[in-house]
Amino acid sequence: MSQLDYSKSQFEVIVVDDGSPVPLDAVVTPFADVIQVRLIRQQNAGCGPARNAGAGQARGLYLAFTDDDCSHAPDWLTRLERYFEKYPNAMVGGLPVNTLRSNPFSTASQLLIDYLLLSANGVPTSASLLNSIAMARDQFVSTGGFDVTFSMSGEDRELCHRWTKVGKQIIFAPDILIGHAHHLNWRTYWKQHRSYGRGAFHLLQKHIAGSHPPAYYLRLLYFPFRREPWGVAIRSSFLIGIAQLATAVGLLQEWRKCR
């Protein structure tokens, strides 16, 4: 954030420590002389509650949420500002880009996210799903923030659904590229997508997510062949299939837990 090409007096950074075992003071404090930054701590509660906590401390007119495995181009806030000048009450989000090209699991997971975003947001000014979210603070508050019952995953999708349900606009801005460096291996890849399945169960409970026709999943498996060299595409398609299996397992586990 210290490298953003934006007036340092016009934005603040709020770091939420969601119960990490190692205090983050040594990481955050050195930046206090460069940017306006604050560190707040809470017991581990998950992404949604952590984001709500940060938003509750924010003093600016707009909120832009990001994660510790994301990086942003110097013009990130400038581009967001241009969108908000045109759509002041909309939710705006960019396109994540995998920066770990040598990691096959990170590559496959990012291709899956790309497919979901591009499929859901065919009309960028009438989008329905984002996983990189920015909006006016008062609009976020009036919508109720993130649903804290989604402790595992799915909180962003639930908010997008609630946002559009009350007639608010979502803008997908693929020109805003967000670097995503999520290191994954077999164990963490399976765990991540099983977690998505657990979140999907609660989305189904709220009638937010539904089943897709078989063609949707066939297009998903073919999607890597549209974006990657043949060898990477074969590997990624296989791993995306594994991800769908892990998601199904997570959904079933959550269903059994909640019966």
> Which CATH number fits the domain that encloses residue 213?
3.90.550.10
CA 52, CA 50: separation in Å to the nearest integer? 5
In a domain, 3, yes or no: no
Amino acid 209: pLDDT: 67
Residue 2 within a domain: no
Mean pLDDT in residue range 169-180: 96
Q: What is the mean pLDDT of residues 7-12?
A: 93
In this prediction, residues 197-216 reach a mean pLDDT of 84
Alpha-carbon distance 233 to 111, whole Å?
Answer: 10
DSSP code at position 95? E
As a whole number of angstroms, the distance between CA 122 and CA 119 comes to 6
pLDDT at 210 over 80: no
What's the order of all strands across the beta sheet hosting 62-64? 62-64, 134-136, 91-98, 170-180, 70-72
Domain membership flag for residue 1: no
The mean-pLDDT minimum among 22-31, 36-45, 149-158 falls in: 149-158
Burial of 47 (0-12, 13-18, 19+ CB in 10 A): buried
- In this structure, are strands 70-72 and 170-180 parallel, antiparallel, or unpaired? antiparallel
Residue 206 pLDDT level (bands cut at 50, 70, 90) = confident
Predicted confidence band of residue 64 (pLDDT cuts 50, 70, 90): very high
CB half-sphere exposure, 89, CA atoms < 13 A: 10
Cα separation, 209 vs 7, in Å, equals 40
pLDDT number for residue 58 = 94
Mean pLDDT confidence for 35-61 = 92
Look at the chain and report how many structural domains it folds into.
Answer: 1
| 248 within some domain | yes
Structural domain includes residue 133: yes
235 inside domain: yes
Assess if residue 147 is contained within a domain.
yes
Domain that holds residue 145: 8-258
Structural domain includes residue 33: yes
Q: In the predicted model, what is the mean pLDDT of the chain?
A: 93
What band does 131 get if pLDDT is binned at 50, 70 and 90?
Answer: confident
**DSSP string across 21-53:** SS-SHHHHGGGGGTSEEEEEEE-S--HHHHHHH
